[in-house]
Structure 1
Amino acid sequence: MACCSQVPASERTAYSRFKSSIKRKLAARARVASSPIVTRWQQLHARRGAEALCRACCVTDLCATGVPQPTRTPGKAPVIPLVPKKLSMKTVVTLLNNHAAAGLEGRNNRRDEMEKKQKCQEKLLLFQEVGYSIAESGDMKVCENINCVWKGCREETQNEFRAVTVMKPSIPLVPEVRFHITGLRNDYYLNILDWSPENLIAIAVGPAAHIWNGGTLQAFESIDLNSSSKYISSLAWIEEGTCLAIGTSDGEVQLWDIETKKRLRNMFGHLSVVGALSWNHYILSSGSRLGSIHHHDVRVPQHHVGTFCQNKQSICSLKWSLTNQLLASGSSDGILNIWPNDPGVKLQSYPLKTIPHPSAVKAVNWCPWQSKVLATGGGMKDGILRVWDINCEKIIQSAATDSQICSLLWLPKTTELMTGQGLPGNQMKIWKYPMLIRSSELYGHKGRVLHIALSPHQSRLFSVAADGIACLWKCHESGENKHSSKAFSNGYLSSFL
């Protein structure tokens, strides 16, 4: 107290005034998160950093980092509740040059830009996980199989970067050979193209079937019904040997030995057009426009050993599975049936599975490496490519093709699916399996692509469209004749024109 008496009265401060001043100062300053004891300079530093952050990125009541906008009162400092700063995830999918990176860093707290970036990165990473590659190009990395465009800076800046599509299709976009077949029938429900395990190609043109060597593409043989009133509506090669089965428009099924150039037998039983054929070793299954499926054992005189009766609608597709345990049949009324391997059944038999579709099921094919997986293509009112797990009747994946699916096959070397499409594009689309991501499109036809076939070496593809245009596509290098295109154009091509 003696010391206090020496201080002038004008400079003395009452204890109550000193206490209230301290309370006001403390109330005007916020606490620092995760720090129970802090100094005044720490509080001021944290407050200035939060104010600068909010001035830079606040667009509404909340800024991009989740910090509320400061509440300002005249004469008082703003009260800013601080929160820990969130760490942002970085990606290696796209790299910017130094100038672009500097421009992006100053604006990376804008909500709309961060959302665009996050969506793009998620999409790129998704494709990368299913096997798509990333290739470097200049100052950025380019995703090779995805269409994706997003901006990392504001509209008025030039710092824009893209992830662009760089297609590397398994099949060239231009056919190796393109020619015209005179007299080809424009009928969606026929199956008149097949490529045999012995590398023989057969295609039906009216009452005749033309056959040539798939390696040299030289004319091999022609089969003619010698009739002006009927035509070949389906054909299928036996799995072993050179026997060709032919279905006709009057319900007859014929067997031809191509090597001896002789007709082996005629098999009757159908009363209408035989639009689909499929082999199960020496059992030949045939489907007609009246909805019945007959099984023929070609080794015995009494060939007709069983019948499946699907319905009264046309059978437009038949496919035995690769293990020959299941038969898939599609009809014009949109019914897909799965039948057991029991050729001796009678009319009252029922399918194991019945799967309805919105329209005709003509494009049907079993997966070569998964025995219980089946792909189907919908008709004009549907246009959906579906891959089924037949065991549980569930769709593994599906994709909208936006047009009629006329034909379908698997590409085992690249684990892809190919579909032959109708209007408006009349193209062939290639889909990555199992995601069913469209990887490329092949244009070479002016009509719907009714039939496609793959060579036994999976090195060439043959496609035929409704306008009579046929295309030969080269898929992979193989041991087949490298001069086959020249031999084909100089040889058998003239007989079609």
Structure 2
Amino acid sequence: MDVGLANSSYIQANRCIRRSSLNCRDDLDRFIPNRGAIDFDFAQYMLMKARRGEGKENLGVSSSPSSEAYRKQLAQALNLNRTRILSFRNKPSIPLQIDHLHETNPRRRRYIPQKSERTLQIPGIEDDYYFNSLDWGSKNVLAIALEDTVHLWDASNDDPRELVTVDEENGPVTSVKWAPDGLRIAVGLNNSDVQLWDSTANKLLKTLRGCHSSFVGALDWNNNDILTTGGMDGLIVNNDVRMRDHIVEIYRGHSEMVCGLRWSPSGRKLASGGSDNLLHIWDRSMASLNSQTQWLHRLQDHTVAVKALAWCPFQENLLASGGGLSDRCIKFWSTNTGACLNSVDTGSQVCSLLWNRNERELLSSHGSLQNQLTLWEYPSMVKIAERIEHTSRVLFMSQSPDGRIVASASADQTLKLWNVFGTSEVAKPTQKAAHEPFAQFNRIRCIMKDLEESPSTAVLDGEITGIRFGLASRDEISTSSISDCLISHPSQLSNPFLSLPLESGKCESCGTDEIGECEGHF
């Protein structure tokens, strides 16, 4: 190859390489930071200079205009006249606020009263964990069993009355349950019978016999016609109250007493709890009369009797159950799979459970040591409120038809009304009116039977113990130490039970007519 040609090619190649490197260098740019923001030496000098008091103008030294102009230009060129020690920057822009997208109207905290609305005396209530002696019907009538008698209280007009007193050999009354229509009520007895009563006419409609061999402690209605009973013999029986041969289906799975029964809102599943520590879920479609019905789920996580049962109103197939004294747990179950979703140790015997129909809340009643009512948030199971007023275990709870008021009955012989589910927003408790509705319940107790034979007043130790309504004049009454006035209405003389407190110690305060007859205005 010609040497000149080779040198020429080498020179052209070098030129191309140089051009490409120059082109690359032209494409690059060097980052020059803001020197004022990183000149920490100058910042330290300015801080120390201000502290030492340097830099003040020597007012006694004069300079020519040309020298002053030169000094200013030099200081400007060298950035010597800075008054800022470090550079300042604008605040960053506020980020976009999107909280309002999550909740336009934040929910207000619901006010829960600190105390019960009413306290009613109920002497004669049985202190038995396995009874179910309280129920609130759809017509706003509360039924409670006290020994051998079932009492009704119409909350709409504050009217108390007696439904039935069973014979002593058949009692006591062990369970009560209103039909969905709110007109008929089932009454379970200690002798294994179940009576069906018309509450409006005080008429016995039917007696169901042959279902059980011992007392009936649990009742629930599947609809207006199917009454389910659970007995001490461990049997669960579906009864069609329209039929003469009323036993239509039998569930066999418990070896001991059935103390809890609850049909699901759909009526397809039945939950049963027993003193054998078992919780069963039954499918109505699998029930039969002759063959042994197989349970859908047998749940054995509780360690003692299971009485408290409550189906969730807002989530289908969710069941809450509560265990007795040595268990103390509230458990949540999926009745589709039989899985235990959660378990909470409450620290005391769980006697009863109620769901709030409007909120995701569960109310539980308990035994010793505190005998409290506890409101839980679901599903976190954080305690929202705890109310302690009862002095003995709170055996029974029932909910008003509108879901606002809860009645709790305790072995301390009191029934309390709680507005625990009623108030929807923060509010101060209103002052009670001077006239207390339901005041006639404040002293419920039996009057001596000889009052029927002696309509005049019976005065013992200066205190009125009985008075026939409208037949005693104030002249017969010693007003020195009157504390209460026990009234026996003519229609209730067979078993009177009302005790009404006087407004004051003077008979005139209760109302008298022109001739001095007591009008009974209390």
What band does the TM-score fall into relative to the shorter chain?
A: 0.5 to 0.7
Among 207, 212, 219, which residue is 1:277 paired with?
219
Query: How far off its partner does 1:260 sit?
Result: 1.3
Partner of 1:443: 388
Q: Distance in 1 between matches of 2:309 and 2:410?
A: 18
Tell me the CA shift for residue 307 of structure 1.
1.0
Whole-Å Cα distance in 1 between the matches of residues 291 and 164 of structure 2?
33
The question of whether the paired residues in 2 share the 8 Å contact of 1:235 and 1:244 is answered with yes
Residue identity matched to 2:251? F
1:350 aligns with 2:294: yes
Which residue pairs with 1:235 in the alignment? 176
Which residue in 2 is equivalent to 1:323? 266
Match status 1:263 vs 2:213: no
Q: Write out the 4+ residue segments of structure 1 that deviate beyond 6 Å after TM superposition.
A: 41-45, 131-134, 482-485
State how far apart, in whole Å, the 1-side matches of 2:182 and 2:116 are.
29
Residue 213 (structure 1) aligned to one of 127, 132, 154: 154
Counterpart amino acid of 2:135?
Answer: D
Which residue does 1:406 correspond to in 2? 351
Match of 2:246 in 1: 303
Alpha-carbon contact 1:249-1:274 (below 8 Å) kept: yes
Whole-Å Cα distance in 2 between the matches of residues 442 and 459 of structure 1? Answer: 16
TM normalised by structure 1 equals 0.64
Deviation at 1:241, TM superposition (A): 4.0
Q: Specify the SS of the correspondent of 1:413.
A: coil
What is the letter of the counterpart of residue 445 of structure 1?
Answer: H
Which residue among 370, 393, 413 is the counterpart of 1:468? 413
Contact 2:226-2:239 at 8 Å conserved across structures = yes
Taking a change above 3 Å as real, the CA distance of residues 436 and 265 of structure 1, as seen in their structure-2 partners, is: same
The alpha-carbon deviation at position 358 of structure 1 amounts to 1.4
CA contact (8 A) 2:440 2:498 kept: no
Partner of 1:366: 311
Preserved contact between residue 274 and residue 289 of structure 1 (Cα < 8 Å): yes
Q: Please tell me the residue identity of whatever aligns with 2:176.
A: L
Does residue 487 of structure 1 match 2:437? Answer: yes
Q: 1:430 aligns with which of 371, 375, 382?
A: 375
Structure 1 residue runs without a partner (length 5+): 1-35, 46-91, 93-127, 135-143, 145-167
Distance apart, 1:416 and its partner CA: 0.9
Amino acid at match of 2:295: P
**Using the alignment, how far apart are the partners of 1:401 and 1:222 within structure 2?**
37
- SS of the residue 2:220 aligns to: strand
Contact conserved, 1:318 with 1:327, CA < 8 A, in 2? yes
* DSSP-derived class of the 2:437 partner: helix
Scaled by the length of structure 2, what TM-score is found?
0.61
Q: Name which of 134, 140, 147 aligns with 1:193.
A: 134
Tell me the SS of whatever aligns to 1:337.
strand
Structure 1 CA distance for aligned equivalents of residues 434 and 406 of structure 2:
13
CA shift for structure 1 position 306: 1.6
Q: 2:230 corresponds to which residue?
A: 287
Q: 1:272 to 1:388 in 2, by over 3 A?
A: same
- SS for the counterpart of 2:390 is coil
CA separation in 1, counterparts of 2:202 and 2:281? 35
CA change 1:473–1:216 in 2 (3 A) is: farther
Paired residues, what number? Answer: 350
CA distances 1:324-363 after superposition (whole Å, capped 9, x unpaired):
0000000012100011114533351110011111111100
2:341 aligns to what SS in structure 1? strand
Overall identity of the aligned pairs, in %: 34
C-alpha contact 1:386 1:395 (8 A) present in aligned 2 = yes
Cα gap change, 1:492 to 1:198, in 2 (>3 Å): farther
**Equivalent residue for 1:224, pick from 142, 165, 177:** 165
Q: Return the alpha-carbon distance in structure 2 between the equivalents of residues 420 and 439 of structure 1.
A: 14
Partner Cα distance (1:301, 1:272) in 2: 21
Contact 2:170 2:189 in 1 (8 A): no
Contact kept, 8 Å, 2:400 with 2:406, in 1: the verdict is yes
Q: Deviations over 1:113-160 (max 9, x none)?
A: xxxxxxxxxxxxxxx99x9979xxxxxxxxx8xxxxxxxxxxxxxxxx
Matched, 1:384 2:326: no
Give the conservation status (yes or no) of the 8 Å contact 1:191–1:451: yes
Structure 1 match to 2:118: 177
CA distance in 2, matches of 1:245, 1:191: 12
The answer to whether the 8 Å contact 2:254/2:276 transfers is no
Q: Which runs of 5 or more residues in structure 2 are unaligned?
A: 1-30, 41-96, 425-431, 445-496, 500-522
Deviates more, 1:225-234 or 1:295-304: 225-234
Distance 1:272 1:339, change over 3 A: same
Q: Distance in 1 between matches of 2:128 and 2:360?
A: 29
Q: How does 1:82-231 map to 2 (within 5 A)?
A: 169-170=111-112, 172-228=113-169, 230-231=171-172
In the other structure, the counterpart of 2:281 is 338
- Residue 490 of structure 1 aligns to a residue whose secondary structure is helix
Q: Aligned pair in 2 of structure 1 residues 179, 337: CA closer, same or farther (>3 Å)?
A: same
Calculate the aligned-residue CA RMSD, in Å: 3.3
Q: How many angstroms apart in 2 are the aligned matches of 1:326 and 1:255?
A: 24
Partner secondary structure for residue 414 of structure 1: coil
Q: Which moved more, 1:253-262 or 1:408-417?
A: 408-417
1:196-237 CA deviation, whole Å, 9 max, x = no partner?
111110000111100011223321442111325521101110
Aligned to 2:191: 250
| Cα deviation digits, residues 446-485 of structure 1 (max 9, x gap) | 001100111001121110011212101224269xxx9798
Secondary structure of 2:358's aligned partner: helix
Distance 1:257 1:321 in 2: 25
- Alpha-carbon distance in structure 2 between the residues aligned to 1:257 and 1:181: 23
Secondary structure at 1:487's aligned position in 2? coil
**Rounded Cα–Cα distance in structure 2 between residues aligned with 1:211 and 1:233:** 16
Instruction: Report if the CA contact (8 A) 1:214-1:455 is conserved.
Output: no
Secondary structure of 2:256's aligned partner: coil
Aligned residue for 2:254, secondary structure, equals coil
Q: Are residue 416 (structure 1) and residue 390 (structure 2) matched?
A: no
- The residue type paired with residue 186 of structure 2 is A
Between the aligned partners of 2:172 and 2:193, the Cα distance in structure 1 is 11
Q: Distance in 1 between matches of 2:168 and 2:395?
A: 24
In structure 1, the partner of 2:23 is: none
Which amino acid in 1 is paired with 2:392?
G
